[in-house]
Structure formats: C-alpha cells, structure tokens
Amino acid sequence: MADLRIQKTDKIISSAFVDLVIEKELANVTVKDIATRAMINRKTFYAHYQDKFALADVILQNILTWLDETLQKRVTLLKQEIPLSHAVTKLEEELQELMVNWRRPINALMTIPETRVQLLAGAQRIFSEQFRVFFKRPASELETTVIGSTMLGLITYYLQSDDLPSHDELQQLSTSLTLIFGG
C-alpha cells in the first residue's frame, strides 16, 4: 500500500484536475493551474504524474477498475438469481460511491473526447467480460451492445439525476423491459 502522504497528494491533485476540467475544459488547463489549485508546486505534480494526460489516464483506469469490481459483485448477485430491485439494495453502497466519489471524475472525463471514447470502450469491454462470466459463454455483439447500453444508461441516469431510482421506478423499468423484450 502506498504511503498515506502520497495517496493524499494524489487525491488532492486529482480533485484539482477534475474541478479545473469541469470549469474550463482540458485544453485550457495547465499543470501550473492544477498545482496552484492543489496547493502544491509543479515539481510535486511531476513527481506523481508525467503530465495532465497521464493524470487523466490514471483517473480513467481507477474508474474502470471500480466499475469492473462493482460489476463482478453484480454478476455474483445475478448468479444467485436476485431480482434487479433487490440487487440495487445490495449494491446501494457501490451506487452511493458512484454518486459521491466518481460522479465528478466521470463527468470531467466525459468532456475530453479521446478519454470519453476510452471510457466507453473500457466500460463496454468490462461489460463483455462480465457477461461472459455470467452467461458462461462469450456474449454476442448484440447482447454486449444492448445490455451494456442499458447499464451505461443507468449509470448516466445516476450521474445526471443526482439520485438513485426508487423501488417503484425499478419495478416499472423491469416491467417495461419485459414487455419490450418478452419473457
């Protein structure tokens, strides 16, 4: 485990970066801006990251790692045949973490075109891997696209609404999906 001072500095730098990207877009953010906002010197920044793009990559990888770990838990719940509405309750801690810890970083990265593509492609890859584990076979392109888009839609909903769906909303969603796709 990394030294707590290093972790704290990384967190401060990441937070400053996210705030600045949301405020004025990546192209207008300099290492000096990040260092000033984080109340560190540029030498400290460069001791942690090669440049602002490397920092964006680290944040991206952290988000994808979190998503992968969360989906592994969801797949475990699916294997136990726990309905979506109950799974949301069991995943409440992770959903709260999404809202509290990942909302701003994801929103910031989504404003960077190249990183947005990497984030969506990474999420799609993770969905495909998790589906393969759940289905015990490779997921088809159709399954990956449709189910992955639904999951990305749920994440987008959480990020934009700043609230988790109610039990009734989840029941209605489940009913609507069943009507659309049969079963």
What's the pLDDT tens digit per position in 66-91?
989 888 877 776 667 665 555 555 66
Residues 98 and 124 placed together within one structural domain of the fold: yes
pLDDT of res. 175:
79
- Which residues have CB under 8 Å from 32's CB, separation 6+? 42
Chosen domain end from 29, 49, 69: 49
**Same-domain status, 95 and 138:** yes
**Domain co-membership, 90 together with 168:** yes
With residue 129 as reference, give the H or E element that holds it: helix 113-135
**Where is pLDDT greater, at 159 or 65?**
65
Give the residue with greater pLDDT, 32 vs 159: 32
Same domain, 105 and 166: yes
Range of the domain at 6: 1-49
The owner of tokens 């209605």 is: 172
Q: What is the CATH number of the domain that holds 19?
A: 1.10.10.60
More confident: 10 or 138 = 10
Residues 85 and 39 in one domain: no
What pLDDT, on a 0 to 100 scale, did the predictor assign at position 36? 98
Look at 61 and 175; give whichever has higher pLDDT.
61
Tokens describing residue 156: 């987008």
CB 104 within 8 A of CB 18: yes
User: Does residue 39 share a domain with residue 56?
Assistant: no
58 and 134 in a single domain? The answer is yes
Rounded CA-CA distance 120/124 in Å is 6
164 and 77 belong to one structural domain:
yes
Instruction: Specify whether 73 is located in the same domain as 118.
Output: yes
How many domains does the chain fold into?
A: 2
Please tell me whether residues 71 and 157 are part of one structural domain.
yes
> Which of the four pLDDT bands, split at 50, 70 and 90, describes residue 103?
confident
